[in-house]
Amino acid sequence: MTKFPTVRLRRTRQNEKLRGLVRETRLAVDQLIYPLFIAEGIHEPHEIASMPGIVQWPLEQLGREAERIASLGIPAVLLFGIPSEKDEVGSQAYNSRGIIQEAIRLLKSVNPELLVITDVCLCEYTSHGHCGLIHNGSVQNDTSLELLARMALTHAEAGADLVAPSDMMDGRVGAIRHVLDEQGFNPPPIMAYSAKFASAFYGPFREAAGSTPQFGDRRAYQMDPSNVREALREVELDIAEGADIVMVKPAMAYMDVIRQVREHYDLPVAAYNVSGEFAMIKAAAQNGWIDERRVAMEVLTGIRRAGADMIITYFAPDVAGWLRE
Ligand code: PBG
């Protein structure tokens, strides 16, 4: 008879206590960031068909939702604004009385401890739905930087704890860092959407934020999904320009990018588990085809295992509940 193996990996899998001791990756509520959509001019929450359970909030109900999120132990929210008026130059994005600036002030007054992170990008505010200014049918880089920096400054002035540029213009982290630091008052850190890919997984978000481009697509500024070396160059540039946290987005189809960023750099890494990733799990679960809770936890644990320190996810409140049970 052949000798039985002396090494048996099943020994440490026998029960949950043992499995807990040898567990390599943990998912905790204090690593999660919950996105919130705030719409101007509405008085009731608006459901988003492709993102079950996620709504656009009216300003007057935001305080209550913030209390719920904070009471679940979720440390931070990421804000997106939907203005009632859009124009060519996204004026509402850098209006100090705009919907997001008001939302920041309200959130900080309701619960100063809940971290407020703001998305800095023009696409929800421009009539053409692109992330920068348009000239001769294409998105202009350098003229957009000034507006993005102004936008970030109004967020900081309203009390944002972090600003998160997601536009993918070259040089935006440096432009924002410069304007924030010039002001002198305790400037917030920058969470840069460094490796943001031109992804079809953003579909449901564009319904939620009303930010679908009216012509063309975002491939002339967001990254080609095929490229990982270029993602590292983006990260490197953002670090040189003063980013404090770097992000990879989307997450599920880009686990290798998260891993490589983790291995190449020492900065904290964020991953965005985007709207399409959330919608796929929701839809399959609603059909009874998968177990929502187990699949969501498996995906989020996988993103952590790939190397993300923090995860932006629409599942945050659900996960907070599941982790408590
Ligand atoms: C804005 C922005 C987008 C997302 C976050 N910020 C959409 C886009 O670039 O088209 C996507 C988030 C998600 O899909 O959950 N530029």
State in Å: Cα 53 to ligand 1 middle: 18
Tokens for 79?
Answer: 């804000």
Average pLDDT over residues 242-261: 98
Reply yes or no on whether the pLDDT at 241 is more than 90: yes
Q: Enumerate residues 6+ apart whose C-beta is below 8 A from 202.
A: 250, 274, 275, 276
Average pLDDT over residues 24-53: 98
The percent of residues in the chain predicted with pLDDT above 90, rounded, is 96
pLDDT tens for residues 100-142?
999 999 999 999 999 999 999 999 999 999 999 999 999 999 9
Q: How far is CA 292 from CA 158, 278, 281, 289, 318, in A?
A: 37, 10, 6, 9, 10
Query: What are the sequence ranges of the domains in the chain?
Result: 26-324
Reply yes or no on whether the pLDDT at 62 is more than 80: yes
Residue 249 is among the residues annotated as catalytic for this protein: yes
pLDDT given for residue 183 in this prediction: 87
β partners of residue 36? 79
Q: What's the pLDDT band for 3 if we cut at 50, 70, 90? A: confident
| Domain 26-324 homologous superfamily, CATH | Aldolase class I (3.20.20.70)
- State the pTM of this model: 0.97
Which residues of the chain form beta strands (DSSP E)?
Answer: 32-39, 46-47, 55-58, 76-82, 115-120, 133-135, 138-140, 162-165, 191-196, 245-249, 269-273, 310-313
Angle at Cα 202 formed by Cα 307 and Cα 200, nearest 5°?
95
Output the residue whose Cα is nearest ligand 1's atom 11. 202
* Calpha distance 19→148 (Å, rounded): 48
- Mean pLDDT of the chain, nearest integer: 97
Q: Does the beta carbon of 197 lie inside 6 Å of ligand 1?
A: no
pLDDT given for residue 1 in this prediction: 60
**Which ligand 1 atom minimizes the distance to the CA of 212?**
10
